Amino acid sequence: RGLTDISLLKRFIHLRYVDLSKNKLQDLSPLSSLTHLLWLKVDGNMLTSASMQKLPYLQVISFDCNRIEDLEGITHPLLANLSLKENKIQTMLGLSHDQLSSLQVLELRGNNIKTTAGLGVSKLKKLYLAQNTICSLEGLEEFEQLETLHLRDNKLEALDGFSDSMKCLQYLNLRSNGIRSFQEVEKLQVLPMLQALVLTDNPCAEEPSYRLEVLSRLPQLQRLDKELIEEDEREEAEQIRQTR
């Protein structure tokens, strides 16, 4: 609606669900009096910061498609789901487990992030980092509860940085990166629960025996590139593994 001022909302202190998407907002400070707020959507505005007064019951926020440059000032204790898709964020620094102890889902696709270092919320279950410029994976050993990691459309050429402490990671999407060798894929052996892997549109996926090469190194996989592993594939990969 082209709104630039939401100060009128201050008096509606019992609001629980607020959608202010597709306006021209630059300031969310009037929302600080909405202490019962559970769910907030402010996609497609002109915000340059996600910083807000702490809201004690807020569980879901979406800041997609703004002009936000960092992760500072997000401190809601019950926040479980935070989305900042398609902003201008360059660093993972700024989030703190002490202030975001309930955060489980973090969506940061379509930003300008170059490394995973510095992300201070280790209890995450789902982390979406597609369409960034990530070329190195750092600090991932903290994520012992992470189940889903999405890294499609980045600049990864090496798969260093994964750790056997990531004992819950089941789904890993590495589509459209620069992974050339199966030696890099082999580094994923440290992930004990990995069941689904996506490697389409990497140079290694062009190799003629690609699926068998991956499966011989990661025999626990159930799906590769969204396709179920067939029993005959599994047997053939096992023979290759034993021969080696």
Helices and strands in the chain: count of H runs, count of E runs:
3, 11
Residue 59, pLDDT above cutoff 90:
yes
The torsion defined by the Cα of 221, 208, 175 and 148, in degrees rounded to 10, comes to: 0
**pLDDT for position 74:** 96
Residue among 214, 206, 209 at smallest CA distance from 184: 214
pLDDT at 89: 97
Q: Concatenated DSSP letters for 159-173?
A: -TT--TT-TT--EEE
Would strands 227-228 and 223-224 be described as parallel, antiparallel, or unpaired?
Answer: antiparallel
The dihedral sign for the CA sequence 153, 156, 157, 160: negative
pLDDT digit string (tens) for 174-212? 999 999 999 999 999 999 999 999 999 999 999 999 999
Q: Supply the pLDDT for residue 167.
A: 96
Determine whether 224 is exposed, middle or buried from the number of CB atoms within 10 Å of its CB (0-12, 13-18, 19+): buried
CB burial string 34-64: b at 16+ within 10 A, e below: beebebbbbbbbebebbbbeebeebbbbbbb
pLDDT in tens, 72-92: 999 999 999 999 999 999 999
Task: pLDDT band for 244, please (50, 70, 90 cuts).
Answer: confident
Fill in the DSSP letter of residue 230: P
What average pLDDT does range 43-70 have in this prediction? 97
| pLDDT(61) > 90 | yes
The dihedral of CA 165, 70, 83, 9: what is its sign? Answer: positive
Q: How many CB atoms lie within 10 A of CB 241?
A: 13
Which residue has 């992930």 as its token pair? 191
Q: What is the mean pLDDT of residues 20-28?
A: 98
Q: What is the pLDDT of residues 144-179, one digit of tens each?
A: 999 999 999 999 999 999 999 999 999 999 999 999
Residue range 99-140, pLDDT digits in tens: 999 999 999 999 999 999 999 998 999 999 999 999 999 999
Q: Tokens 């280790």, residue? A: 122
Q: What is the pTM of this model?
A: 0.95
Instruction: Report yes or no: 147 and 173 within 8 Å, Cβ to Cβ.
Output: no
**pLDDT of 45 over the 90 cut:** yes
